[in-house]
Chain A
Amino acid sequence: MLRPESEAEQAFRAEVRAFLAAAIPGPLRDLTFRPPPEQAMAWYQTLAHKGWIAPHWPKAFGGMGASPVEQVILLEEMARAGAPDIPSQGINHLGPLLMHFGTPAQQARHLPAILGGAVIWCQGYSEPGAGSDLSALRTAARRDGDDLVVNGHKIWTTWGQHAHWMFALVRTSNAGKPREGITFLLIDLASPGIGRRAIRNIAGDDEFCEVFFDEVRVPVENVVGAIDGGWRVATALLDRERIQLGAPAQALRALERVRRLARQLAPPARAALADRIAEAELAVEVLTAAFLDAAERFAAGQDPGAESSYLKILSTETTQAVLDIAQELAGPLMALRDPFRLGDALVDPSEMFLQARRLSIYGGSNEIQRSILADRVLGLKREAR
């Protein structure tokens, strides 16, 4: 971080560093992939117990209420210590949404379970026929007494095979515009009628899956917001969610790979690559500055608006660019499939590089984000068809 740290912030960094040094179990350190659920959730619960699982949640909802600078300190230290990746759908997406649109009963039931790591959530938005054009979704829910009965097919569901619950968009009406008949629903994945099939990704991991719904009954009390009013629930917080998507979490993990490789280079190679290493450091500082700027403006009450689309583009493409530099540093070893030890470092030449392909695809592809910027921020009209 270019930002000078106050005495309290320096002390916080020291505390985080000392905690991570002691608390991350050896087998979970420096992993190149997200660990299996029992291990990932054990680490999640360790952070939850420490009170650091939800840095950007307000204290009133059990979060840490951390300032943007403290959030960056946590991310920097986590990356430095090689802390494992944990599932974030509950913390980053559903939690803030329930704080705004959930009933007191929904908040009381679900927020503590998210904070404590008792429940793994997945997001049920994409379908085979509804990706970038999300409002074309067809998974349907019909009213039957006090239940909604769901039939359909979700896909690309990250950790869907491990999740206990899904927050999903389902079609409850075909009248009006496509966006008007969509409902936001919380679905217990232990319900009868649910089938799941893992999908292997190009990095060789089973990180996402398809979820099939066959006459799945969901109590109507699990609707968030109004029936047919789900599009607004899902999108009202998008601008602020994009601020969190702009946090330099993945970029710092990528940068840590560059730093570890750089330490292993012989002096002539290191000198030859010094400019590329500095480029990686600089790119992450630019992202960090952009995140701090947006998060601090938001904390001061300024609405980020569609401008926040720029953070999703910046954070994902920065991570990818930093991993390109890591590949350059790995040189002839860049294509090796498995991590290997080099000196005191575990070097991962390809896993994160491959995993990072998804960053510019999910959460609204970067092409969609660019179109949003052009349309809503830059004042450029759409092409006539």
Chain B
Amino acid sequence: MAARSETEALLASAAADLLDGEGGLARTRARRDAGGGLDRAVWGRMAEMGWFSLLLPEAHGGLGLAPADALAFLEEIGARLAPEPVVAAIAAQPLLAACGTAAADALLARAAAGAVVVCADPGEGAPGAMAGAEGLAFAPPGVDAAVAFDAAGRRLLALDPAEARALATVDGGALAFLADGPGAVLLGEGAAAEAAFAAARDVMRLGHAAELCGLTGRALDMTLDYMRLRRQFGQPIGAFQALQHRAATHFVDVSATRAVVREAGRAFGTPKQAGAAAAAKAAAGAAALRVLKDCIQLHGAIGFADEHDIGLYLRRAMVLAAAAGPPRACRAVFGTARAAELEAPLPRRTARAAGLAASHAN
């Protein structure tokens, strides 16, 4: 694993401690069995720890961290399958702060006081007919407000998903199909609102990519544990070369995906941000599904049984891979950004920088 900053490590261990203290996977399973819904007590404790204001500028009362500082934290959350929409809440606060309107400031104040405010998933990559019929964006139905653009893409709105039609997702959660309505509150308009929303969507992509890294890495560790313990033909199944090589392939996938997600984190705040965030999400979503399907297979029949936790990992991987742009939609975003990069001329060199480069020549 790449070296972490002190802040990053502190945040990561705080996430692990809180989620393990709340019951870990047993809580996730129990919430699912109880029909989903938001655990407001846990949400409150997360909010108290400042989780949702990690990226909010300090001037607005947040921690003002860069997304790269939150990656290890989000990996821990992903590894524990926390059912709360943490990434969407983290993305929402800087978005509201950037709007600069009284309505946005008021919503940010509500969020700071513990309201559940998230950035909606604009549902890129959805079949056109479905998007048109159902609404403009998705959000978990239990939240207090979700931020999304209207169908015409002009007005940034705060919407209450309570009224919206919601469909259950495979992990025990649900997606409400948000639609513009009488309860909608205008938060911002124009290019500034668009840029702020685009940045929030990039944060969602990078954040879900980090969650997927944590999830996939933990699922592989669980599978390796199982391969060391489960005995057939008088030896652990992990002794069979056919299975070892598949596990090794997954290790390659997990290691490389973690590297590209970290690399994408470095691109935030630069012109490469949108392409890099999409690349990270595309890579992490596809890798998670590749690895998780085989984790089930390597567990054999118990992997297919609902009682085993590995199935919870596959189902969450499906939900996170689909969120904020599924792999194909994100590849399209990255591919377009890359094509533009390839066409662009190199930035003009400066004399000072050229002097530094020349020091490499004989």
Contacts and interface: CB of A to CB of B under 8 A. Distances in A.
Contacts of B356: 8, 11-12
A283 to B, nearest CB: 9
Given A2-B272, A51-B362, A381-B236, A290 B350 contact: no
Interface string B323-362: 0000010011011001000100011011011101110111
Interface stretch (A124-132, A145-153, A370-378): A370-378
A290 B338 CA distance: 19
Interface in A286-338: 286-290, 292-294, 296-297, 300, 302, 307, 310, 313-314
Nearest to B275: A2
A131 B173 CA distance: 53
A289 B252 contact: no
A381 B326 CA distance: 37
B240 A281 contact: no
B267 interface: yes
Q: Which 9 A-B pairs have the closest CB atoms?
A: A278-B335, A51-B362, A374-B244, A11-B353, A370-B248, A289-B263, A380-B238, A12-B357, A289-B260
A15 interface: yes
B241 interface: yes
Interface in B222-262: 224, 227-228, 234-236, 238-241, 243-245, 247-249, 251-252, 255-257, 259-260, 262
A286 B259 contact: yes
Interface in A7-56: 7-8, 10-15, 17, 49-52
Contacts, number: 177
B164 to A, nearest CB: 31
A2 B276 contact: yes
Given A64-B360, A286-B257, A293 B354 contact: no
7 contacts: A282-B282, A286-B259, A287-B256, A300-B3, A371-B241, A380-B236, A384-B235
B251 A293 contact: no
B266 interface: yes
Contacts of B133: none
Given A8-B356, A10-B346, A314-B256, 19 more contacts: A7-B350, A10-B347, A11-B350, A12-B357, A15-B358, A49-B362, A51-B361, A66-B360, A285-B263, A290-B259, A300-B3, A310-B248, A313-B248, A314-B252, A371-B241, A378-B244, A378-B251, A379-B224, A380-B239
Contact of B332 (A49, A278, A302, A373): A278
B3 A11 contact: no
A214 interface: no
Chain A binding site: helix, strand, loop or mixed by DSSP?
Answer: helix
Contact of A274 (B332, B354, B360): B332
A98 B121 CA distance: 56
A277 B249 CA distance: 23
Interface of A: 2-4, 6-8, 10-15, 17, 49-52, 64, 66, 70, 259, 274-275, 277-279, 281-282, 285-290, 292-294, 296-297, 300, 302, 307, 310, 313-314, 367, 369-371, 373-375, 377-384
Contacts of A378: 224, 238, 244, 247-248, 251
Contact of B354 (A15, A52, A314, A382): A15
B252 A310 contact: yes
Contacts of B243: 380
Contacts of A296: 2
B5 interface: no
B259 A289 contact: yes
Q: Which of B241, B247, B259, B276 has the most CB of A within 10 A?
A: B259
B360 A52 contact: yes
B74 interface: no
